[in-house]
A and B are shown apart, each in its own frame.
Chain A
Amino acid sequence: MATTAEPTTAVAQPKMVNLTIEGRPVSVPEGMSLLEAGKRAGVLIPHYCYHPGLSIAGNCRMCLVEVEKAAKLAPSCATAVAEGQVVHVYTEKALEARKGVLEMLLINHPLDCPICDKSGECELQDFTYQEGPAKSRLRDPKRFSPIEDFGGDVLYTTSRCILCTRCVRFMDEIAQDTVLNVSARGDRAVIGKYEGKELTHAWAGNVIDVCPVGALLSKDSLNKARSWELDHAPSICPGCSQGCNISIDTRDNTVIRLRPRPNDDVNKYFMCDIGRLDYRWINRQDRIEVPLVRRGESLAASDWDVAIPAAAALLDGKRVFVAASPNLSNETLHLLAKLVASAGGSGAYTVRIGPEAPLPGVKDLSLRADRAANGAGAEILGFKRTASPLDGLAKGDVLVVADADLSTATVDQLALPGAILVIGTTLPENLRTASVVLPIANYAEEEGTFTNLRGRVQRFSQAKAAPGMARPSWWVVGDVLAALGKGEAYYLASEVFSAMAGEVSAFSGMNYDGLGMRGMVVNGGAS
């Protein structure tokens, strides 16, 4: 439950329409489709061509329902609600019609579910199981069309296509780069493109997600897993400051793919290809798995009981400089900020910059130039944005490297600090002079929150286990603070969040559980 209500805008309340769907009374705004009204009433009307983020095509004819007093079955995606309407989804007439549609969709379909990546999350499978014909009456050879590479990450398995045109509409209306078309007509129709013009748009990969069947597949995740072997963790893409909501899909503790998760306020139903395909680093094997403490010339494997006091001893009474990664959670950054505050010193972060790539059909959605998830959070929590990560490091400081990328740091710069404490996922070559190294989980291995460029605070959850003894980053920093006697240890991200909300005005009034699926905007935030 949200502790602060969303600000009520001064938009006139839409007129409400009352109707009954499958015996369930429901009141919805005027102009809504029967299909959406059905969702509100808890009835999922089967459909293929309809997608809430796209225009209405009305071509699959799967969403036919019976409306009392209407002569013909109504396509529920293209029929607006009317006062007093009585809608039946599961009458014999409606079921027969949809069964007819399914039969037609299946006659030329290869029925190759055992080798299809979509199997298990395929709407054609689901609705056929639910209300399709058990047997085919086709006595003639099936139509066959070869597989085509659409470029980008997309493979088109023509014979599985049901011509719902969601992909064409996505590219046309949302990406506004009409690379796909429907070619030919009648039963010869296929999704086509112009030879040489590929699906290279930065957001083109979304056609894979909008495809309700196994026609458009990701080349990247092709044949990597059966869908039912995957675990799904709701998360936030760390690729840029947009904060697209995603699902991290893992199999046996390995990330297989990232997919967008709907959030009307941030990314609608979409995510860009850069974010989608940038996940291999999460699975990287060169991680630090145990705390390391310097013994003479070498870093020796240690234990948390030894390493935390060693880190505290290193910091005690010294000025610190924290080089923080802008991909750390608000929680971790908050605790690092406390470390800076208690020891004196400063903290900085550096954001990698890349080309912008907007998605024209959705307002304020873009692959942002700032290629980091939580620059806004770092800013709010008092870190200074710098062009080079060690700007502000003074001689004799204890340098705390909080997973920051220091690959550009010079040998001279790294010789400045009195000591180096690494709190990181990996130990790069140039940081092997560190005195203590504390292994932390990466963002997919812990939970926490990010603040996007519009100030929206959104939760991400743990998708896989951290390697070896690595611990969530906020836990590690909390332990160090506790060992210094400057704070308490935390065992839940929500506890850190509550503490932060109590201390930092931008987050005040927020509650970890209350962030919900859409997140909340920081006080004084921009969106």
Chain B
Amino acid sequence: MTAAIHEHETPYQPVFVGDRRKELDALFPLYPTKMACILPALWMVQEDRGWVSDAAMAEVAQVLELTAAYVKGVVTFYTMYNQHPVGKYLIQVCTTTPCNICGAEDVVSAFMEHTGCTDLGITSADGRFTIIEVECLGACGFATPVMINEDVVESVTAARVPAILAGLK
């Protein structure tokens, strides 16, 4: 379907080569252990690949002198690391209590309706959108905050959803 999904089948290309490798090496002096670089390293993987595959976990394990199982334990703890390929736009709608009372569930429905996503976490057929509910984004005064990839859109209402989606190329 999407390029990201096909990554499953093609041979794994390492992330930590060239500039990325230098970037990672530059982090090592900042911490007393290599293990401490696991979160930053996983972020680099996700920035490059959009998600953290099992093969990527093994690579991170190798560059940080850990085991793949250890890395997997860490990856699965933190919800921001995508363990599956996601759409071009990952739309994360906060639905925790403060946003919930301000109509966050309607915002979720509006995104579902206007993107053609059939269910939460299921990427739309065109591969463009994946919508998930997230727990508190820490912007409760700007209900409902919606995180679209790296950007937080504040004060989203159901009515604003079509315009927001139209702004996504």
In the complex, A touching B, CB below 8 Å? yes
Interface residues of A, Cβ cutoff 8 Å to B? 172, 177-185, 192-195, 197
Q: Measured between C-beta atoms, what is the minimum distance from A154 to chain B in Å?
A: 14
Q: How far is the CB of B21 from chain A (nearest CB, A)?
A: 23
Kindly provide the distance from the CB of A134 to the nearest chain B CB, expressed in whole angstroms.
36
Supply 18 A–B pairs (Cβ within 8 Å), ascending by A.
Answer: A178-B66, A178-B69, A179-B69, A181-B73, A181-B76, A182-B77, A184-B76, A185-B76, A192-B69, A192-B73, A193-B69, A193-B72, A194-B57, A194-B58, A194-B67, A194-B69, A194-B71, A197-B68
Given contacts A179-B69, A183-B76, 16 further A-B contacts (CB under 8 A): A178-B70, A179-B67, A182-B73, A183-B73, A184-B77, A185-B77, A192-B69, A193-B69, A194-B54, A194-B57, A194-B67, A194-B69, A194-B71, A194-B72, A195-B54, A197-B69
Q: Which B68-111 residues have C-beta < 8 A from chain A? A: 68-73, 76-77
Q: How far is the CA of A70 from the CA of B101 in the complex (A)?
A: 41
A178 to B72, CA, bound (A): 11
Which A residue sits closest to B74, measured CB to CB? A181
**Per-residue A-contact encoding for B17-47, CB less than 8 Å = 1, 0 else:** 0000000000000000000000000000000
**B67 and A197 contacting across the interface, CB-CB below 8 Å:** yes
Q: Which residues of B contact A180 (CB under 8 A)?
A: 69
Residues of B within 8 A of A185 (CB): 76-77
Judging by beta carbons under 8 Å apart, are B66 and A183 in contact?
Answer: no
Give A94 Cβ to nearest chain B Cβ, in Å.
31
Do the beta carbons of B67 and A177 come within 8 Å of each other? yes
A181 to B69, CA, bound (A): 6
Smallest beta-carbon distance B8→chain A, Å: 13
Contacts of A181 in B (CB 8 A): 69-70, 72-73, 76
Residue numbers in A under 8 Å from B58 (CB-CB): 194
CB neighbours of A193 from chain B (8 A):
69, 72
When chains A and B are docked, how far (Å) is the Cα of A7 from the Cα of B73? 46
Which chain A residue has the least Cβ–Cβ distance from B69? A194
Contact-residue size bin, chain B (C-beta under 8 Å from the other chain) = 10 to 19
* Alpha-carbon gap, A183 to B71, bound state (A): 10
> Which chain A residue has the least Cβ–Cβ distance from B72?
A194
Quote the shortest CB–CB distance from B121 to chain A (angstroms). Answer: 14
Q: How far is the CA of A83 from the CA of B121 in the complex (A)?
A: 56
Of all chain B residues, the one with the shortest Cβ separation from A179 is: B69
SS class, residues of chain B in contact with chain A = helix
Cα(A195)–Cα(B71), bound, Å: 12
> Measured between alpha carbons, how far is A197 from B67 in the docked complex, in Å?
10
Tell me the nearest residue of chain B to A172, going by C-beta: B70
Q: Cβ of A179: which chain B residues have Cβ within 8 Å of it? A: 67, 69
Interchain nearest-CB distance for B98 vs A (Å): 21
Cα distance A261–B70 in the bound complex, in angstroms: 30
Shortest distance from the beta carbon of B1 to any chain A beta carbon, whole Å: 22
Complexed CA–CA distance, A185 and B83 (Å):
14
From B57, B66, B67, residue with most partner A Cβ within 10 Å: B67
Give min CB distance, B61 to chain A, whole Å.
8
Q: Which 10 A-B pairs have the closest CB atoms?
A: A181-B73, A194-B68, A178-B67, A194-B69, A183-B76, A178-B70, A184-B76, A181-B69, A193-B69, A194-B72
The chain A residue with its CB closest to the CB of B58 is A194
Cβ of A172: which chain B residues have Cβ within 8 Å of it? Answer: 70
What's the minimum C-beta distance from A63 to chain B, rounded to whole angstroms?
25
Return the chain A residue nearest B68 by Cβ: A194
**B54 contacts which chain A residues (CB < 8 A)?**
194-195
Distance to closest chain B CB from A240 (angstroms): 27
Q: How far is the CA of A450 from the CA of B66 in the complex (A)?
A: 40
From A185, which residue of chain B is reached at the shortest CB distance?
B77
CB-CB under 8 A from A197, the residues of chain B are 67-69
User: Closest chain B residue to A176 by CB distance?
Assistant: B67
Report the minimal beta-carbon distance from A183 to chain B, rounded to whole angstroms.
Answer: 4
Which residues in B have their C-beta under 8 angstroms from that of A192?
69, 72-73, 76
A189 smallest CB distance to B (angstroms): 9
Query: Closest residue of chain A to B73, judged by CB?
Result: A181
Q: What residues on B are CB-neighbors of A178 within 8 Å?
A: 66-67, 69-70
CA distance A184 to B68 in the complex (A): 15
A476 to B37, CA, bound (A): 66
Instruction: Output the residue of B58, B68, B72, B73 with the most chain A CB within 10 A.
Output: B73
Q: Which residue of A lies closest to B70 (CB)?
A: A178
Residue of B nearest to A181 (CB): B73
CB distance from A497 to the nearest CB of B (A): 47
Closest residue of B by beta carbon distance from A191: B73
B57 — which chain A residues lie within 8 A by C-beta? 194
**Nearest Cβ in chain B — how far from A193, in angstroms?**
5
| Cα-based distance from A172 to B67 in the complex (angstroms) | 10
Q: B67 — which chain A residues lie within 8 A by C-beta?
A: 177-179, 194, 197
Chain B residues with Cβ below 8 Å from A182 are 73, 77
**CB-defined contacts of B66 to chain A, threshold 8 Å:** 178
Q: Which residue of A lies closest to B71 (CB)?
A: A194
**How far, in whole Å, are A192 and B74 apart by their CA atoms in the complex?**
11
| Contact call A183/B72, Cβ cutoff below 8 A | yes
Give the distance in Å from the alpha carbon of A184 to the alpha carbon of B74 in the complex: 8
State in angstroms the CA–CA spacing of A193 and B70 once bound together: 8
A315 CB → nearest B CB, Å = 59
Closest chain-A Cβ to B134's Cβ sits at a distance in Å of 15
> In whole angstroms, what is the CA distance A192 to B69 when docked?
8
- Complex CA–CA separation, A179 to B54 (angstroms): 14
Complex alpha-carbon distance, A182 and B67, angstroms: 13
B residues near A195, Cβ cutoff 8 Å: 54
Report chain A residues within 8 Å CB of B71: 194
Cβ-closest chain A residue relative to B77: A185
Chain A residues whose C-beta falls within 8 Å of the C-beta of B73 in the assembled complex: 181-183, 192
